[in-house]
Every structure is written in C-alpha cells, then in structure tokens.
A and B are shown apart, each in its own frame.
Chain A
Amino acid sequence: MKKFLSLALIAAMLLSCVVLFGSCDPVDDGKTDDEFKLGVICLHDEDSTYDLNFINGVKEAQKALGLRDDQIIIKRNIPESNACYEAALDLVDEGCDVIFANSFGHETHILQAAKEKPEVQFCHATGTMAHTEKLSNFHNAFASIYEGRYLAGVAAGMKLNQMIEDGKITAEQAKMGYVGAFTYAEVISGYTSFYLGAKSVCPSVTMDVQFTGSWYDENAERSTANALINKGCVLISQHADSMGAPTACEDKGIPNISYNGSTQAHCPNTFIVSSRINWAPYFQYICTQAMKGEAIATDWTGTIATGSVVLTDVNTAVAAPGTVEAIAQITEELKNGTRHVFATANFTVEEKTLTTYMADVDTDAAFAKDTEVISNGVFYESKFRSAPYFDIQIDGITLLNTNFG
C-alpha cells in the first residue's frame, strides 16, 4: 500500500513537472516575463484617494503589459515603520523582482530592505534619498505635478476673468483660496504653480492659503474651505485628499479646482478641472526595465510628455469659454520648453526678482541648502531630484497659518 502511494506521488510529481516545463517559454537568461512579479506597498487602501490613485496605476500598467493577477502582489495599510521593512522582505520571499512603496515615510525602511537584498529592485515614490545613497537597486520617482497645477491655474484664472467681465467681482476682488495639507515643499510648489498659472491670464489675482495639518481630514478641509470663502475668496483649490473642500464649494456655489481626480459627479455646478499624477507610466517603465534586465533610473521624474501628469476633462458648464483650447495650447508650450512654470520673470519675492536660490536637494540631518537651482532665468523644479524642492514664499500669496505637522 505504502509502495503504491509513493509510486503514485512520484508519478504525479513527474507529470506536474512535465506540464510546468511544457507551459514555459524557452529560457535564455534569468527569469522569463511569465515569472516576473511586482510587489506594491501602500500606506492605506482604496478608501484613500492617494492610495487609490496608485492602485489604479498598477492595474492600468498590468493591463498594458498583459501581466497576470498572480504576478502582482499589493500589500495595503502598511505603516511607516519596521512593518514596512517586514512587508518588503515578505514580498522578496514571495518572489517579487521589483518592489514599490508609495509613502514618503516608507523610504528609510525600504532602504534598509534594499541594502539587505541587492538582487531585488526597490522603487519608492516621493522620496529624496536615492540620488545620494547611490545603491544600484534603490530608486526614487515623482512627477512634475506642478505643470498640471499650472494648467489648472490657467483654467482658474480664466474663470476669474469671466467673473470680472460679468461684473460679479472687480479685478481687485479676484482672490483665490487654497486648502493645503502641510507647509512643506511638495505643497508649496503645488500652490505656487497653481497661482502662477492663474496669474498668467489674470494679472490682478491674489491667493490666501490655509493649512489643515493633515493629508486627509474631511471636516478640517471643509471648514477651512468655508473659512476661506468667508474671507472673500471667490475660487477654491486644494492639496489634500478628501472631498471636504469640493463639497464646501458645491454648497456655496463657489468654483472649485480639485486634485487627484474628477469631482464632477459630486459637484456638477462648481467643478472646473482637476490634475493628478498618473503612476501607470512609471509602473510600466519599472516592470519593462526589470523584465529586460536593464537598470531602472535612480531618480525618475514623470512629466506631461510621459503621460504622468494628467488633467481630467474640463467641466464646460462651469469653466470659462475657451478653457479647453487654452489648456491644450499651453500644454504644448510646456512640452516643447517655450514656457517654464517657474520662470523668475513671472514672480517676485519681497518685490524683487530672484537671480539665485540654494535649495535643500540632498538629504542630510542639518537640512542644508546645497544646490543652486536657478539658471537662465528659470527655477528648475524637479530637475536635480524628482521630489519637489520649491519652498519659496512669493508675493501675491498670503499664508493664513503654517502647519508643519
């Protein structure tokens, strides 16, 4: 009986081997595309618009590359602690060739895993350390979202112009409100580019910024938006992840530029346009490089040209006439380099034009300002590293509070 059982087992094993080898493509070097695996570490799950945007990016890339479901492993709700390092190593055990983490605070924990597993590629969104750590298997990525915000700002400026022409407000009353999360380069770069976009078409525009101190706090975002509206802001935008600000705008009939995706379904009477980072091109890029066995860029910046910075459809019922055409034209100018968002001629700091600025590009404990980022009359954002470093307070924007966390 025992003999029979062991014979049967051996036969079954041999059969499965034959089936497995038969289904494999002829192998020339290393793993085949069939065996490739991508691991993704997310701070939260689909309930957060931030994480949803990444998960959608993964799915889009999966479709484009024709990867099977079992070639992609997503770990959700991974905190910015030792748990992140554990999650990364667990993904290595599961056979992942590329591991991606999506939150700023994941960085040093992923770095620790990358040092231990040199044969696996680790990619980290929004981080700042890859270009100084110089590990061959640790990479940062971000997108020049300031270009998207600039375009959204153009739509905002055109809406203000329309309101001035219609006699609803005077040119001096053209004040926008901005709900920010933290007083941090990523947010400062975002609201400044939005403001500059509006200013490029509506020269008299000013802006108030108020911070909530949280990336996701629906009540705080709604009450902050209401406070800004009460202070005389006639158009609102935000850099925070909930529906708080768009909802407040819809309630009060104030035009809104949202972020991370369209809010038109909820706010049909006030939504104009929204910008977001599309991560699909990056996922596609890292998977293809890994499958080809080629190196992944240490610090990758997605742009409008790579399809990483995208705008939703303009809500023509709310936007000023001609907005779609203007956005299309300026997109071209940004793509071919004839227009720069942070051209120093476009803004002043304490009524002076900047000619030089040292930014904190390299991570160090002292937060030293280490790199000259202005040349040829342009502040080059996202050039020396992908994560934003524009942290200047420019004229025309008033910060009602600061919140560093």
Chain B
Amino acid sequence: MAKSLNKGAGKTREPLFHIVKRPTIPLWKSWVIRIIAILAAFLVCGIVTYLLVQRNPLDMYASMFRGSLGSKRKLWKLAKDMAVLLCISLAITPAFRMKFWNIGAEGQVLVGCLATTACLFYLGGKVPDAILIALMLVTALLAGAVWGVIPALFKAKWKTNETLFTLMMNYVATYLVAFFLLTWTPDGSSTLGRIEGVGMLPVLFGNSYVLIILVVAILTVAMYIYLNYTKHGYEISVVGESENTARYIGISVPKVIIRTMILSGALCGLAGFLIVGGLDRTIYTESVGGQGFTAIMVSWLAKFDPIVMILTSFLLIFLDQGAAQVAQDFNMSDAFPSIITGIILFFIIGCEFFINYKVVFRSAKKEVKE
C-alpha cells in the first residue's frame, strides 16, 4: 500500500472509472443498448413484483400486454389514446426544438377544450352543425394560440422565464374552467354532462376514433416536413442552437419565438378540440389529465423527432393501459403498477445516457494510452 501511494504521489490519482462522450454510435449498437435496458427493466420489475406483492411476475407481464393489446376494443383505445398524446407532443415539439421550455401544454389544451365546449354550450342547436364544428375548431385553435403566445411575447420583449410563465398559465386555465363550470351549472355540482346530438364530429368507417387517428397521422407527417424541410423549421433549429448565430445570419429571434409559440399553442388547441369534440363531449378541470406534461416526455424521449414520437407515445400509453390492467387483475390500488411503470421508464431514460456516453475503467484507459 505504501508503495502504491509513493508511486502515485507524482501524478494526479486516476479514478476507478470515468465517463467519456461517445462519438456517433452505429444504429444497431444503440438498439442493442436499448433492448438490454428493457430486458434489465423487466428483470428488476419481476424481482420487485415477487418481493412486494408475492405474485408471479409472468402473470403481471401477461396482464400488462392484455391491458393494451388484449382485445379489439383495447387496440382501438390504445390507438385513440396514442393519437391524443401524440397530438399534444407534436404541438410542443417546435417550441422545444427552439429551446423554449413550454411546460404550459396542459393549459393550452385545456383552453382549447374550454373554447370547444363553450361553442357547444352556447351555440349548440342554434347554428347549423357544419358552422358549429368550424367555429369549435377555429375558437379552439385561437384559444390555444393566445394561451401560448402570451408567455412568448413576454419572453421576446422582456426576456421573462418561459418555464415559470407557461406553468402558471396552466393554473389560470384550470380556474377559468372552474369558473365557467360554475356559471354553466347553477345547481352547484360543477358537473356538465355530455352534450350530445349537436356538433358531433363525423364518424368514419363506423368508428368515431378513426377521424382523430387520421388527423394526428397527417399532423405527424406535416410536422416532420415542417421541422426538417422548410425555412421555418431551419430557423427554429438555429434559434435553438444559438440566438447569437441566428441574429448574425439575419433571423429575427423574437419573430421566430412568437411565430413558433402561436403554432405550438394552436396545435394544443387542436388537441383540446379533438378531446371535447370527438371524445368527452364535456369539460372538467381534469379534462387534459396531465397529458400536457406526459407529452414533454414523449417529445424528449424521441429527441424531438415526430416519427420517433409515434414509438414513444406508444410506449407511454402501453405502460399506462398495462398498469391499469395490472391493478384490475391483481385487485389492488394503482400504487404498485405505478412503481413498475416508473422502473421501466427509469431504465429506458437511463439507457439514453449509455448511448451518449461510455464508461471507461482505469485499466482500459491505460491500454488506450499505450
């Protein structure tokens, strides 16, 4: 021991391992890492299941798959839930590419829901359905855009912090909904039932979910093209990389921020229109149910690539429906399945670290030097 101390006295002591950023990694290698991570997650979940609830882990995985893929109805539900989540994720992506941390999607979708419901409530039966639906859509887009552009204006003009601003706009939206519910239900129940028979969205191929899925599919492709092959998309990327560079090459940064947040907010409004018009037909303060935040994870996990987001939104909805099925089959509260989804997400997010960085051990590094 004394020897080794003397030996190392001259140099700085080398740690057992350190972390090095990887140069680009081949696609197959990154997928090998991901698959290993998922297998490891399943293994850990299995052990946790056995230890915590003394149930057969295989039963749990069976329930999980059954929950999302077990029947035709569940597949439709999976596709519908994916479409709504993907829509919100697509909406926030341009802002995130610009490094504008919009965590106000929850509120932007909710005001879209509110505008749609207000049209249904006040105009239902009073104007022809085609006009009503058009108004529902336009007001939802506008409401979302307004909710998105307010923080953008403040950011562009006075450099306010958009994260706090958009977050607080969520609460304003929630209380706005509570206020309108109070006005619309004088009995004090604050529960507005489904508004049926007016302003119903067209049912395609005998299933009311087809329209939503179709709209979002088109939006996904459009967003991919917009971000990767248009001038706007390029400007967003440049502003995201460096505002100074953007200014140097003549891009008006405030203009791009405002324009992008109008788009982002309007698309959130579209999600609100689809939720109320095509699904709930009513509104309550939890109409968006946290999807505005889940969307951030969908977008980020996909590295802001709209096509990859199809996969990540599938993953999150799959886990969500699977967890609900586990709770049902095991006849227990959601707490345990939430732990399981947490573990799986931890591994999946964690493995991205090992794709971007590699761990180099002491001995290995010496060899490299030699």
Contacts and interface: CB of A to CB of B under 8 A. Distances in A.
Interface of A: 45-47, 69, 73-77, 79-82, 86, 89-90, 93, 104-105, 107-109, 111-112, 129, 182-185, 360, 363, 367, 391, 404-405
A5 B284 CA distance: 56
Contact of A405 (B188, B193, B335): B188
A79 B275 CA distance: 14
Contact of A76 (B187, B282, B287, B334): B334
B71 interface: yes
- Chain A to chain B: the 7 pairs with minimum beta-carbon distance, closest first: A405-B190, A108-B193, A184-B188, A45-B333, A82-B279, A108-B194, A404-B188
B258 interface: no
Interface of B: 71, 73-74, 77, 178, 181-182, 185-191, 193-194, 196, 279-282, 284, 286-287, 289, 324, 327-328, 331, 333-335
Given A108-B193, A183-B188, A185-B187, A81 B279 contact: yes
Contacts of A93: 71, 73
A404 B179 CA distance: 9
Given A81-B279, A82-B281, A90-B74, 9 more contacts: A45-B334, A74-B331, A81-B280, A93-B73, A109-B194, A182-B189, A367-B186, A391-B188, A405-B190
Contact of B191 (A45, A80, A112): A80
B194 A76 contact: no
B194 A77 contact: no
Contact of A184 (B74, B189, B284): B189
Contact of A81 (B73, B284, B328, B331): B284
Contacts of B193: 107-108, 129, 363
Contacts of A112: 194, 196
A282 B299 CA distance: 47
Contacts of A404: 182, 185, 188, 190
A93 B70 CA distance: 11
Contacts of B73: 86, 89-90, 93
A109 B191 CA distance: 12
Contact of B328 (A74, A79, A183, A363): A74
22 contacts: A74-B331, A75-B324, A76-B333, A76-B334, A77-B324, A79-B286, A81-B279, A81-B282, A81-B284, A81-B287, A86-B77, A90-B73, A104-B189, A105-B191, A111-B194, A112-B196, A129-B193, A182-B189, A184-B188, A185-B187, A404-B182, A404-B188
A184 B187 contact: yes
B136 to A, nearest CB: 16
B328 A75 contact: yes
B188 A82 contact: no
Nearest to B193: A108
Contacts of A77: 324, 327, 334
A104 B282 CA distance: 14
Contacts of A80: 191, 284, 286
A405 B178 contact: yes
A47 B178 CA distance: 24
A86 B181 CA distance: 24
Given A45-B334, A90-B73, A108-B282, A405 B182 contact: yes
Nearest to A129: B193
Contact of A69 (B71, B279, B331): B331
B327 A367 contact: no
A1 to B, nearest CB: 28
Given A105-B284, A112-B194, A404-B190, A76 B327 contact: yes
A331 B188 CA distance: 31
Nearest to B77: A86
A81 B113 CA distance: 13
B188 A73 contact: no
Contacts of B280: 81-82
A72 B112 CA distance: 38
Nearest to A211: B188
A126 B353 CA distance: 50
Contacts of B190: 182, 184, 404-405
A404 B188 CA distance: 5
A93 B73 CA distance: 9
B41 to A, nearest CB: 23
Contact of B289 (A79, A108, A363): A79
Contacts of A82: 279-281
A313 to B, nearest CB: 28
B115 to A, nearest CB: 17
Contacts of A75: 324, 328
B333 A182 contact: no
Contacts of A111: 194
Nearest to A78: B324
A82 B324 CA distance: 16
Contacts of A89: 73
B194 to A, nearest CB: 4
Contact of B181 (A76, A81, A104, A405): A405
Nearest to B333: A45
Nearest to A46: B333
B257 to A, nearest CB: 34
A185 B98 CA distance: 50
Nearest to A387: B189
